[in-house]
Amino acid sequence: MAMLLVLTAAACGRDEAQGQPAPRGESKAPAGGGAPGGNRPPMPVDVAVVRGQRVEEVITGTGQVEAVQSVQLRPEVEGRIVEVLFNDGQRVAEGDSLFRVDDAELRAQVTRAEAERDLAAQNLARQRQLMQSQSATTSDLEQAEATARGSQASLDLLKLRLDRTIVRAPFGGVVGARRVSVGDFVNSQTQLVTLQTVSPMRVVIDVPERYAEVLRTGLRIVFTVAALRNREFIGTVDFVDPVVRQPGRTIAVRGVVQNPRGELQPGMFAEGRLIAAVRENAAVVPEDAILPLQGRTYTWVITDSNRATRRPVQVGVRTPGFAELLSGARPGERVVVGGLERLTEGATVVPRLVERADTARAR
């Protein structure tokens, strides 16, 4: 009996020295509050449901609108302009006549060449008859044949030059302001007018070189121009420049876009978005659920039993207020967006569902 009293007194002394007398009938809560058998109450937290929605991985850049084809027309023969066959700014079709250069001299040359051709043909026929009667040599016949071919070639060349006194549109498009008038003397160096295609048009966007790995033909490009407010145009990338431009270290990406109404004009400033990837059922969470810690990124997920577990995640596309999770959480799960700084692994929580405004949803 004396031994029991001593041991009891010693135990009480230790409890008093620690300042934490053990309550009768209860044990201390183990480390990691909220564990089974603990006395810490469940922690209230705000949670949001992981959304499954379409996410587009977007690359942005700026550039300008250009014509697919553009040319400065020049005459192929020299002479005076005798007729202008279009109005400035007019749409023309391929092959339409635009200018006519004085062709009087060339027509006279064609008439003379036709006479020389006929004479050479008659001489060739006579030499062939003489060969049959053995009154001409093979050399005479060969010379007559060469003369006939040469005269025909000269005639064809003059006819070609005569045809080129008419300046025609090499493709359909819109002509600019003409630079010459009737009576001006022109040659092959004279600029007559600019011709540009209307539809399709081309948009050229400069993007940072860090996206070089994902740039490829076939990507969808969406862009706007300052002159046409609240309008978006959609094209398809058909060329990615293999050279990085200095000094901005950008890559030129070219896309083709239809322009049936002629709204887009060459030189317009364009702000574009390249759709590098599309994920139809991506996991999207509010930014508040993302927790950076020691070089890694985590989120707290609430299990079906209302316990918190911390998972490492990989973040994809970010938009104002939201972020895509490439790993770590699935659509339909609940993530903590308020009160996560006090959570511990396995803690029991009282979740309160909150909603975020749809205006910030990831695209």
> For 59-69+197-279, CATH number?
2.40.30.170
pLDDT, position 341 = 80
pLDDT of 18 over the 70 cut: no
Query: Under a CB-based contact definition with an 8 Å cutoff, are residues 41 and 32 in contact?
Result: no
- Model confidence at 16, pLDDT cuts 50, 70, 90, reads very low
pLDDT of 3 over the 70 cut: no
pLDDT, position 358 = 55
- Model confidence at 39, pLDDT cuts 50, 70, 90, reads low
DSSP bridge partners of 237: 255
Query: Under a CB-based contact definition with an 8 Å cutoff, are residues 309 and 300 in contact?
Result: yes
Tell me the three state secondary structure of residue 1.
coil
- Model confidence at 278, pLDDT cuts 50, 70, 90, reads confident
Percent of the chain with pLDDT over 70: 87
- Model confidence at 200, pLDDT cuts 50, 70, 90, reads very high
- Model confidence at 185, pLDDT cuts 50, 70, 90, reads very high
* pLDDT tens, residue by residue, 317-329: 888 899 999 999 9
pLDDT of 11 over the 80 cut: no
CA pair distance 223, 240, nearest whole angstrom: 17
pLDDT of 65 over the 50 cut: yes
pLDDT, position 340 = 81
More confident residue, 7 or 130: 130
Mean pLDDT computed over 181-190:
94
Query: Under a CB-based contact definition with an 8 Å cutoff, are residues 94 and 170 in contact?
Result: yes
CA pair distance 339, 343, nearest whole angstrom: 7
CA pair distance 236, 220, nearest whole angstrom: 5
Measured between its terminal Cα atoms, the distance across the chain in Å is: 79
pLDDT of 102 over the 60 cut: yes
pLDDT of 157 over the 60 cut: yes
Closest CA to 347 of 308, 302, 295, 314: 308
**Matching CATH topology for 43-55+280-360 and 59-69+197-279?**
no
Query: Which residue type, as a one-letter code, is found at position 176?
Result: G
> For 77-101+165-196, CATH number?
2.40.50.100
pLDDT of 363 over the 60 cut: no
pLDDT of 32 over the 50 cut: no
User: In the chain, what are the domain boundaries?
Assistant: 43-55+280-360, 59-69+197-279, 77-101+165-196, 103-163
> For 103-163, CATH number?
1.10.287
- pTM of the complete model: 0.64
pLDDT of 26 over the 50 cut: no
- Model confidence at 41, pLDDT cuts 50, 70, 90, reads confident
> For 43-55+280-360, CATH number?
2.40.420.20
Q: Tell me which DSSP letter residue 68 carries.
A: S
pLDDT, position 34 = 41
pLDDT of 336 over the 90 cut: yes
pLDDT of 239 over the 50 cut: yes
The per-residue pLDDT of the chain, averaged, comes to 85
Mean pLDDT computed over 209-236:
91
pLDDT, position 343 = 87
- Model confidence at 135, pLDDT cuts 50, 70, 90, reads confident
**Burial class of residue 72 (count of CB atoms within 10 Å of its CB; 0-12, 13-18, 19+):** exposed
